[in-house]
Structure 1
Amino acid sequence: MNQPVTPETPATSGDAAGTPIPAVPMLSYREPRLVAHRLQRARSARRHLRGIRIALNLMLALALLYTVTLTKALLIPLVLAAFLGLALNPIVASGARLGLPRWLCASVLMIALIVGIGAGIGMLTQPALGWFHEAPAVIRSFVPKLKMITQPLEAASRATQSLVAGQGARAPAPTQSALAFNAWDVVATTPKVLAAILTVVLLVFFFLVYGDHLLRRLVEAAPSFSYKRHAVAVVRSIQTEVSRYILTTTLINFSLGAVTAGMLWLYHMPDPLLWGAVAMLANFIPYVGAITTTTVLALVGLMNFNDAGPALLPALTFAGITAFEGNLVTPMIQGRRMRLSPIAILLWLLIWGWLWGIPGALLAVPMLTSVKLVCERVRGWRWFALMVQR
């Protein structure tokens, strides 16, 4: 006989063999609402946690920017020394492979660099000081040459003033301001500059001598052999590529400065070595450096030549040289992998120029390239390398 179904006994059914199968208990109509409510609360909690994480990351970024700005007197020599050490390390490593001590190779290299840079500064100091001292007189002689440009503007200004005021108004004569050099400012700034130079020299020397030893100690701190091997491969590849990039960029900029100096000498421009050095240093700042150097050469040409054609010819020639270098020479030598997005370069220049001034603008692109090379090999940060790549 069939067993009656009661509230205490759930209904069962049988298969073909007569085996009883327990019936599935019916869910209450409140349970789906409870599950949906819990899912909604979980999603809301995840959204709140994501918002808190974003806010904390923004606060951390602002704290880092403030710290970088506050400690720029310490970080600028350290970053500059690190880049110089990376650039010069292959030369010292080549000497070490020949059996020479690293300290001897580093000492000879640093002495040669100090002598070469000191000789270059000594050659360029006198022309630079001459331009600074003669700037007021040069500017006064340069103003009449702009009369052809300013006359239509002055006529339009007088016509506008006559229409507004009913009579011509004479503009007040501009006051001439002379450039004043305070000897006390020079004396107060010299010890800081010398201390920064000495710091960079010592850091570069110790990076060249003990850099590999420090890297070995960092690798030994890895937890396992696989991590050690991966760390060695990553560090060596980054060191090689960054040093190659810095050396290549320096040689390209030096060649650009030499070609610019020769071109200015052919055009009989004054102090071609000075403006060649300015072009070399400014080319470390992409786009902005070329525009600034072209403008400076145009002004110098207008100050030294009476006709507009010979005056603007050096600036136009330099613009053609930089266009050839930036679009053909540098991409061909460095390759596509080292090319960066112009938007990323301009944003990076804006950030580091705002934080560190002119030194930040000069170091911005090497820092961006180094960060890109590091992010390509660090898991989780490859998106940044793709964002800044051209």
Structure 2
Amino acid sequence: MAKVRTVRSRLDTVVQRNSRITERSLALLATAAVLAFLWLAREFLMPAVLAIFLAFTVHPVVSWLERRHLPRWAAAAAGTLLATAVVAGIFALLYGSFSAFWAELPQYEDKLREAVQGIVRRVAHLQRQGEAMVKPPPGGVKVQESVPWGVLLLGTAQGALALAGEATIAVFTLYFALAEGPRFRQKLLTALSRDAQARERAVSAIAEVHHDLEQYMVNRVAINTALGLVTWGIYALYGLEHAAIWGLTTGLLHFIPYVGPAAGLVLPTGMALLQYGDVQHVLVVAAIYTGIVALQGNVVDPLFLGKQLRLSSIVIFLGSLFWFWIWGPVGLFLAVPLLSAARIICGHVPRLRVVAEFLGE
């Protein structure tokens, strides 16, 4: 009997070990499948997810309209129209401002020529240094004599159609997220009615996701709008041309953690170099930008956002790089709310709480 119990114990140990190995293998395969799906379906997922998170920003307006006895579908339609008008207005302002800036570029021709000549001299110097190590390919260098206008126009048309399709997906997703959100929540809770613990966890997770992301999106939009207006006003008082562009781009880039504020410094300082042509004004413009950003990061954000999303700084940084790798620039805008939603959901699933601990601060 002792031998039989020993054999059974060994068999149970082997079965448990194989079960754990199988479980981990399936988890790795599932993760790889999810990553592949996120990348392959990015043209559909990016606008849809962007619209869902935009719905958190518009939801207070929809709730306010509902409290004024407006039907849910009408309130959702009004919220969708408001969000679409704001986004379209931002794009129209950017397009008009950059078009005006592009039209004025010939005025900076001399300064641009000097800058380009300096770069050309530097490149030529580096090229002469590398000629000893690099040999030209056999048959010489081929020069394309004309611009492939057909390919260029086809690519432009395809890009415009793709952008129109993504915009359509975003608008419809936004409307249905606002109009059908409560109904889908109720359907989910009804499906979990047989498991009281799962239902309780789902209710808690949904409430926390909705509360945290709605507060974050609304506060972030308000803070970045104020940042853009302040930057616009200060640059306009200083006399920097096209101050509206630099204020708008500063507000938009601050949706991107770490990388956005750093990239926002390049645009106004480049304009100062073109406009004034000396280092002194460039340093003043850079100091203005750095002071505004430092004030927001050290005073305004902690005061109004604080540790709202409870995410680790290293997780935000690496997560932003990950979503940029998956979805490009749109992924940078969505990285923080996606990471926050993942932390909350994992925290309410017992087997995934270790993931929530790693994501948390």
- Decide: shared fold, TM above 0.5: yes
1:294-320 deviation digits (Å, cap 9, x = unpaired): 123222221221220112322222122
Superposition pairs of residues 144-293 of structure 1, within 5 angstroms: 144=114, 182-224=152-194, 226-227=196-197, 228=199, 231-293=202-264
Distance (Å, rounded) in 2 between the aligned partners of 1:207 and 1:184: 34
User: What's 1:124 paired with?
Assistant: 94
Measured on the aligned residues, the alpha-carbon RMSD in Å equals: 3.5
Distance (Å, rounded) in 2 between the aligned partners of 1:234 and 1:117: 30
Q: CA, structure 1 residues 225+61, in 2 after alignment: closer, same or farther (shift >3 Å)?
A: closer
User: What's 2:265 paired with?
Assistant: 294
1:31-67 deviation digits (Å, cap 9, x = unpaired): 68x9778766755554454344333322221121111
Letter in 2 for 1:74: F
For CA contacts below 8 A with separation 6 or more, give which structure has more relative contact order: 2
Q: SS in structure 1 opposite 2:265?
A: helix
Superposition pairs of residues 2-41 of structure 1, within 5 angstroms: none
Distance (Å, rounded) in 2 between the aligned partners of 1:204 and 1:273: 28
Report whether the alignment pairs 1:70 with 2:47: no
Q: Is the 8 A contact 2:201 2:349 kept in 1?
A: no
- Residue of 308, 323, 328 corresponding to 1:352: 323
Q: CA, structure 1 residues 224+40, in 2 after alignment: closer, same or farther (shift >3 Å)?
A: closer
1:118-140 deviation digits (Å, cap 9, x = unpaired): 33333331221344566698587
Distance (Å, rounded) in 2 between the aligned partners of 1:225 and 1:380: 17
Distance (Å, rounded) in 2 between the aligned partners of 1:362 and 1:202: 20
Greater displacement, 244-253 / 127-136: 127-136
C-alpha displacement of 1:282: 1.1
Q: TM-score, normalized by length of structure 1?
A: 0.76
User: What's 1:389 paired with?
Assistant: 360
Greater Rg over alpha carbons, structure: 1
Q: Is the 8 A contact 1:290 1:319 kept in 2?
A: no
Distance (Å, rounded) in 2 between the aligned partners of 1:107 and 1:42: 59
Q: Is the 8 A contact 2:212 2:309 kept in 1?
A: no
Q: SS in structure 2 opposite 1:285?
A: coil
Letter in 2 for 1:128: F
Q: Is the 8 A contact 1:142 1:302 kept in 2?
A: no
Q: Is the 8 A contact 1:302 1:312 kept in 2?
A: no
User: What's 2:277 paired with?
Assistant: 306
User: What's 1:3 paired with?
Assistant: none
- Which structure is higher in helix share? 2
1:179-238 deviation digits (Å, cap 9, x = unpaired): 999444333322221222122112211221221122112212223384545533432332
Superposition pairs of residues 124-143 of structure 1, within 5 angstroms: 124-132=94-102, 141-142=111-112
Distance (Å, rounded) in 2 between the aligned partners of 1:39 and 1:314: 74
- Residue of 334, 338, 357 corresponding to 1:367: 338
1:262-298 deviation digits (Å, cap 9, x = unpaired): 1221222221111212111111111100111112322
Q: Percent identity?
A: 26
User: What's 1:22 paired with?
Assistant: none
Letter in 2 for 1:303: L
Task: Give ranges in structure 2 of 5+ residues lacking alignment.
Answer: 134-146
Distance (Å, rounded) in 2 between the aligned partners of 1:77 and 1:97: 29
1:74-97 deviation digits (Å, cap 9, x = unpaired): 111110111122222232122223
Task: Give ranges in structure 1 of 5+ residues lacking alignment.
Answer: 1-26, 166-178
Distance (Å, rounded) in 2 between the aligned partners of 1:299 and 1:36: 77
Greater displacement, 100-109 / 76-85: 100-109
Q: CA, structure 1 residues 316+48, in 2 after alignment: closer, same or farther (shift >3 Å)?
A: farther
Distance (Å, rounded) in 1 between the aligned partners of 2:244 and 2:54: 24
Distance (Å, rounded) in 1 between the aligned partners of 2:91 and 2:39: 29
- Equivalenced residue count is 344
Letter in 2 for 1:107: A
User: What's 2:137 paired with?
Assistant: none
Distance (Å, rounded) in 1 between the aligned partners of 2:35 and 2:287: 39
Q: CA, structure 1 residues 55+217, in 2 after alignment: closer, same or farther (shift >3 Å)?
A: closer
Q: CA, structure 1 residues 297+37, in 2 after alignment: closer, same or farther (shift >3 Å)?
A: farther
